[in-house]
Structure 1
Amino acid sequence: MATPPTAPTFAQLLRDEGVSVVEVGDWEHHNRNSKGPWGPVHGVLIHHTVTSGTQNTVRIVRDGYEGLPGPLCHGMIAKSGVVYLIGYGRANHAGLGDPDVLAAVIAERKAPADNEATVDGNRCFYGFECENLGDGTDPWPDEQLLAIERVAAALCRHHNWGERSVIGHLEWQPGKVDPKGFTMDSMRARIAKRLGGAVPTKPPTTTLPAPTRPSVGLAKLVAAAKSDPKRAGTPVTYSGVTTVEAALVNAGHLAKAYLDGHFGTATVQAYAAWQRHLGYSGSAADGIPGKTSLKKLGDRYGFTVTS
């Protein structure tokens, strides 16, 4: 039993364990606390998403589905090994589960087979969704498995838990199969080995590894923004627009319905909101990307800027 740390401490715990972290919008305050308490926490629950595509998956776990509002986890572990922080507080991830399994997690012993669903898991577990189709054939890259290991070990280390405090959704709730494609016993063995060693001393990176970061050309993006029909006639198409729109969605400035690859009026208005967020005003917040504002957007939401 433990009290969750503050959101900034939570993020730093992951970074201190060597995890690459991307903070998504207002994740520190995105939660379901109005529906019930979160904490004390007893362990870490691992899931798979049954989705593909990192940005698509981030949107789903942040916003949720009809009848199951987001956040659907505290962090989403992408195939690249990057962990996207989605929410902090109560999240719709665990559902009702087996009280005997919870007792085993608390006692740090092998959990029995789950055959009941009567205990509120959303209250008492950290939840991490992992980008995977969950069909048993979709691969689990080494970088992703290492990130799962590091995330779980970071929280266990903080709370002085052992590897038995980490379980899969399939061990908690009857009928669930996630995560599928590796065994939780094998993951717990990795976590135990990591916990038996020293805390990493190498300062972790706080940005996406270069090979996984999309790039956005400033000149092409500005041309697309200025070609909005309300401004100058025929729209200019550019693939980088979608990357920027996804970042603006994650920042909370653009509705996901406008994530269409067209730098139209809605995207211009959203980018102007981002500029105002940075402190620009007047003509400096006109919704046309500039080098400094675009770089700051990319640094936070995972893309690089080229000329």
Structure 2
Amino acid sequence: MAPPMSAATFRDRLRAEGLIVVEVGDWQNHNRNSKGPWGPVHGVMIHHTVTSGSARTVAICRDGHSSLPGPLCHGVITKDGRVHLVGYGRANHAGLGDPDVLAAVIAERTPPADNEATVDGNRSFYGFECENLGDGEDPWPAAQREAIVRVCAAICRYHGWSARSVLRHLDWQPGKIDPRGPGMDWAPLLERVSKRIGRKPPTTTLPKPQALKVSLSKLVKAARTDPAAKGTPVTYAGTRIVEAALVDEGLLSKQLLDGHYGTSTKTAMSEWQERCGYSGRKAGQPADGIPGPTTLAKLGKKHGFTVIA
């Protein structure tokens, strides 16, 4: 737990670590501080961008998009190992996450499996987006992995943190899969961070992320029950996983990621179904937003969950 370092100190610490640092525009003053506080900070979060091309990737991370304004991180680590500083302060990178994971990061112990999203992560973490398609096949070059190690070590050394203060987006928020792909082996990377900080490597390794599964039948039952109706709405943990995927697709606001399959979730699912080529039963009608096996499987394949009966 610590106040964030100044922008100048942040830049200088990264350069002192031997990193090639590229300053993008007025990055020191580009932030989302008007939407809430940044700090105290507790750790460093690593993401992948699901993009290719360094210039395009940096521009997206700096400017964001219509449903998620930039900056989307503090620094972008491109495949050549350069660190592009795009913002400083509150950034739209972490979103809501698991309070148990936050407690583990603060205590510098192995984080538990994430199963809820109720705590503001944009306030609590430095965030770095790494150029990678995120399809599980796009490789992570050695220069990029080394830059990740040095970035994390520089920040942890400044704050007196161990490598246990470094986490992945998938450790933080249900439904996330980043970072992943050939070469992104997390436990060895953390050991390298730890050695670079100057401390002994962690005595335990991070657990493998649990495979996320969504029951189609339970999700359909939740979708057919109106949460606004009298009585207790149907709650199902898989709803939050699906909502997180719809948020990633830009179809659902993060503020509506609440685990209830209400009108907004149904509308977002309807738009996803239409993206997949489905429409209503009658010509001109929109898709109904009730999840089906084909469209749900497509969403799961893209966002890291498996559909079961």
TM bucket normalised to smaller? 0.5 to 0.7
Q: For residues 182-193 of structure 1, what are the structure 2 equivalents within 5 Å?
A: 182-193=184-195
Aligned to 1:121: 121
The code of the aligned residue for 2:79 comes to K
- In 1, Cα distance between the equivalents of 2:101 and 2:2? 17
- In 2, Cα distance between the equivalents of 1:87 and 1:25? 9
- In 1, Cα distance between the equivalents of 2:92 and 2:186? 21
- In 1, Cα distance between the equivalents of 2:55 and 2:12? 23
Aligned to 1:5: 5
The answer to whether 1:27 aligns with 2:27 is yes
In proportion to residue count, which structure has more helix? 1
Shift of 1:184: 2.4
After superposition, what is the alpha-carbon deviation per residue over 1:35-62, rounded to whole angstroms, capped at 9, x for unaligned? Answer: 0000000000000000000000011000
Runs of 4+ in structure 1 deviating by more than 4 angstroms, as ranges, are none
The answer to whether 1:79 aligns with 2:107 is no
Aligned to 1:93: 93
Shift of 1:65: 1.2
Shift of 1:183: 3.0
- In 1, Cα distance between the equivalents of 2:37 and 2:45? 17
Q: Which stretches in structure 2 are left out of the alignment for 5+ residues?
A: 200-309
- In 2, Cα distance between the equivalents of 1:31 and 1:172? 21
Shift of 1:89: 0.1
Q: For residues 122-161 of structure 1, what are the structure 2 equivalents within 5 Å?
A: 122-161=122-161
Q: CA contact under 8 A between 1:167 and 1:184: conserved in structure 2?
A: no
Q: For residues 198-209 of structure 1, what are the structure 2 equivalents within 5 Å?
A: none
SS in 2 for 1:129: strand
Aligned to 2:258: none
SS in 2 for 1:51: coil
After superposition, what is the alpha-carbon deviation per residue over 1:117-168, rounded to whole angstroms, capped at 9, x for unaligned? Answer: 0000000000000000011111100000000000000000000000000000
SS in 2 for 1:45: strand
Q: For residues 154-193 of structure 1, what are the structure 2 equivalents within 5 Å?
A: 154-181=154-181, 182-193=184-195
- In 2, Cα distance between the equivalents of 1:188 and 1:119? 24
Shift of 1:12: 0.2
TM-score by length of 2: 0.63
- In 1, Cα distance between the equivalents of 2:67 and 2:185? 30
TM-score by length of 1: 0.63
Matched positions, count:
197
SS in 2 for 1:41: coil
